[in-house]
Structure 1
Amino acid sequence: MYSLLLAIIYVAFVSLGLPDSLVGSGWPVMHEDLAVPLAYAGIITMLIAGGTIASSLLSERLTRRFGAGLVTAVSVGMTAAALLGFSVTGSFWVLCLWAIPYGLGAGAVDAALNNYVALHYAARHMNWLHSFWGVGASISPFVMSHAITSGLGWSGAYRIIGVVQVVLTGLLLASLPLWGKVHPRVPAHDAEPSTHDGEPTFTHDGEPAPAHEPTTRGGHVPLATALRIPGVPLVLLAFFAYCALESTSILWASTYLVTDRGVTPATAAAFASLYLLGITGGRFLAGFVADRVGDRALIRGGFLTVALGVVLIALPLPTPVLALAGLVVAGLGSAPIYPAIIHSTPVNFGRNSSQAIIGIQMAAAYSGSTFMPPLFGVLSGWVGLWIFPLFVGVLAVLGLVMSERLSGLVARRASTSVPSSDAAASRTP
């Protein structure tokens, strides 16, 4: 059952990545067919992001009531319906309406699946699963290209991916009996079971609680309560910073290389794609060492490697070779950060609180990836694109500092064996 459900979750992560590149890859044709300006893509992406943030924040309540399996299945079904809706509409404003369930489904399934994997599977699987997400995101532009060149049009690409999502929805519904039979993992790498007055403490699942995992009790954890748990603001800032630097690099790195480093557009585009391939390949490689080195080391090493890549990009040398290499290095450094932050959440904040906190983390992630690239665009218009490595570097330092402060807080909690977040959660009516 463990392996069968894991295989289904792997397929789900590939399928989750499939829709994410469709709007960007198809918009040059879509906006002409819909008779709207090119800039209207921002409206679609903002609506999707808004729905994603909202459903991420609601994911904890939904998952507690209906279970991770059913929430995942229904959310994928919503995404499938939205994609099929995209495929049959010829109006931009109807497209905007379909973008709402598109975002709502994406946010809920992302938070529910990430929390389930964090609770039940080892760190290597979290890295590999997110690598498979990158595979799905890389495939969809080819699906869009094939649909356009074969005469199916951009709507054909949405129809193909929509049908894939419908099939996945059926598979997830059929797998519902398995979700409750896979036992939660015992986090054994980063901590030993904690004790209080010489007796071991336990999570609400009846498992030994690691020394730095706050023992948790109770049911629903409201948003306000989750935000008051010590360390949560730190992890939210770290996650916001990471997703902001990743999305800013994806959107602006190629333009920076062309305008400020004299790289040809073709070369810049190729190396910008290598940044994404570095993330995907880096997560696959990180999976082989994740269980041995631990989430904290992966996060620290990831941010430091990104910082090294940024330094290489910024060096004012007459040749752009190091800048191009720096972009690849930054991609490899980015690879383990997202999965490791997610995977460490139950250990850092307790199993009972993890779904609520992962939902908030997803909202912080989407906020960073949605709002920071446009902010960089505004700043670079005022100051110049030369600030790209400085902008990304500041985000990398912010992420590193916040994650290190969280590690220090967790270490102090482990040394005193005080389940601080449990007290905050237990005060909630």
Structure 2
Amino acid sequence: MYSLLLGIIYVAFVSLGLPDSLVGSGWPVMHQDLGVPVAFAGILTMIIAGGTILSSLASERVTRRFGVGVVTAVSVGMTGAALLGFSFSDQFWMLCLWAIPYGLGAGAVDAALNNYVAVHFAARHMNWLHGCWGLGASISPFIMSYALSADLGWHAAYLIIGVLQAVLTFVLLISIPLWGKVKPIVGDGAAPADESPDETSDAPFAPERAHVPLAAALRIPGVVLILVAFFAYCALESTAILWAATYLVTDRGVDAVTAAAFASLFLLGVTAGRFLAGFFADRIGDRALIRGGFALVGVGAVLIALPLGTDVLALVGLALAGLGCAPIYPAIIHSTPVNFGRRNSHAIIGIQMAAAYTGSTFVPPLFGAVSAVTGLWVFPLFLAILVVLGLLMSERLNRLVDRRQV
């Protein structure tokens, strides 16, 4: 039963990543077919991000009411329905309409699944599961490429992935009875000893007092620190993904083909690094993964910035930054029940998801505005500032948690 549910969750994480690259990979063709400017992609992604942030914040209340299995199945179903809606859309306003359930479904399932895994499974699974998300995000551009090269059109890519999501929804609906039968782990990720069974209940209909309102969660000591750290990390990752190749070409004079290849290595480093981190995550712990990850990204930023006659170190630095990013996201999520208790973890993870999407949505355009004034040379410095901010906040949280446990 444990292995069966774990396998379903692995497939669900691949499914979470599948839609995330579709808009970006298909937009060069989509905007022409729809007769809208290229910049309209920003409108679409903002609608999706807005829905994701809202549903992340509401995820804890909804999941306590209906259970994580139901929320996961319904959320994946909403995402699948939105993708099918995309596949039948021939007007931009229709995409905007379907983007609403797209974002709402993505945020709810992200927070619910991450909390469930943090409470019920070891750190290695959190890393491998997020590696599976990267696998899904890497597969969808190939599906889009296949659909376009076979003259099926971009609609077919959305149809294919929408059907896959529909099949997964059916599997998740069947698996609902399994979710309440897996016991929370003891040790890393377990609730503090002073929490009562009611407070740590994973039952679909937990007591009303188990709900943690947003304002109450934000008042818990250390929550603001981890939100800033998570915001900084996600801002760093998304900024690097969007601007790395442009920086290498514009500021370092690297040819476009090489820059694109090494920019993709950043994403491959994130995905491969998460699978690699899973093999030793249980031994070294979440704190070391977060600390080491930020430190490695910092080393990468320094290598990118070095004004040498060769670009080799800059390219190596970009790959190292990707490897450094790999364990930070899963480790922050997995450490939440330990730092704040299982009673609070879902509410806090929901807010973390909102902070993550806020950072990844708004900071890359902010960097674009800053670099328009300063020049793209500021790219590694911008990354370094986010590294320092994230590391400083996470270390302050560690000291706070240590004092609380004394």
Q: Tell me the distance in 2 between the aligned counterparts of 1:241 and 1:285.
A: 23
Distance 1:186 1:203, change over 3 A: farther
SS at match of 1:36: coil
The answer to whether the Cα contact below 8 Å between 1:302 and 1:337 also exists between their aligned partners in 2 is: yes
Which one of 217, 222, 232 corresponds to residue 226 of structure 1? Answer: 217
Q: Which residue of 1 aligns with 2:163?
A: 163
Secondary structure of the residue aligned to 1:271 is helix
Deviations 1:248-286 (A, max 9, x none): 000000000001111000000000000000000000010
Is the Cα–Cα contact under 8 Å of residues 246 and 369 in structure 1 kept in the other structure? yes
Q: Which residue of structure 2 lines up, in the alignment, with residue 311 of structure 1?
A: 302
Query: Structure 1 pair 165/315, CA: closer, same or farther in 2 (3 Å)?
Result: same
Partner of 2:269: 278
Aligned partners of 2:317 and 2:126: how far apart in 1?
26
Q: Which amino acid aligns with 1:201?
A: D
- Structure 2: how far apart are the matches of 1:48 and 1:250? 19
- Two-structure CA RMSD over aligned residues (Å): 1.5
Amino acid at match of 2:197: H
> What letter matches 2:120 in structure 1?
H
Q: Which residue of 1 aligns with 2:330?
A: 339
Q: CA deviation at 1:152?
A: 1.0
Contact 1:76-1:169 within 8 A present in 2 as well: yes
Alpha-carbon shift at residue 205 of structure 1 (Å): 6.0
How far apart are residue 219 of structure 1 and its match?
Answer: 1.1
SS at match of 1:49: helix
Alignment of 1:5-84 (within 5 A): 5-84=5-84
CA distance in 2, matches of 1:405, 1:203: 28
Aligned position for 2:400: 409
Matched with 1:421 is none
Secondary structure of the 2:210 match is: coil
Aligned residue among 201, 212, 219 for 2:194:
201
Aligned residue for 2:239?
Answer: 248
2:227 aligned with 1:236, yes or no? yes
How far does residue 188 in structure 1 lie from its aligned partner after superposition? 4.1
Number of corresponding residues? 400
Tell me the equivalent position of 2:259. 268
Q: Is the contact between residue 122 and residue 188 of structure 2 (CA under 8 Å) also seen in structure 1?
A: no
- Residue 166 of structure 1: how far off its partner (Å): 0.1
Detail structure 1 runs of 4+ shifted over 4 Å in the superposition: none
Given residue 258 of structure 1, which amino acid in structure 2 is its aligned partner? V
Work out whether residues 238 and 398 of structure 1, in 8 Å CA contact, stay in contact via their aligned partners in 2: yes
Distance, in Å, in 2 between the alignment partners of 1:141 and 1:238 is: 30
State the distance in 2 between where 1:301 and 1:410 align: 19
**In the aligned structure 1, how far is the partner of 2:330 from the partner of 2:133?**
11
1:357 is matched with which residue: 345, 348, 357?
Answer: 348
SS of aligned partner of 1:56: helix
Please state how far the C-alpha of 1:185 moved relative to its aligned partner.
Answer: 0.7
Aligned partner of residue 151 in structure 2, secondary structure: coil
Distance 1:32 1:2 in 2: 48
- Residues in 2 aligned to 1:51 and 1:166: alpha-carbon distance in whole angstroms: 20
Q: Contact conserved, 1:236 with 1:360, CA < 8 A, in 2?
A: yes
- Deviation at residue 187 of structure 1 after TM alignment: 2.3
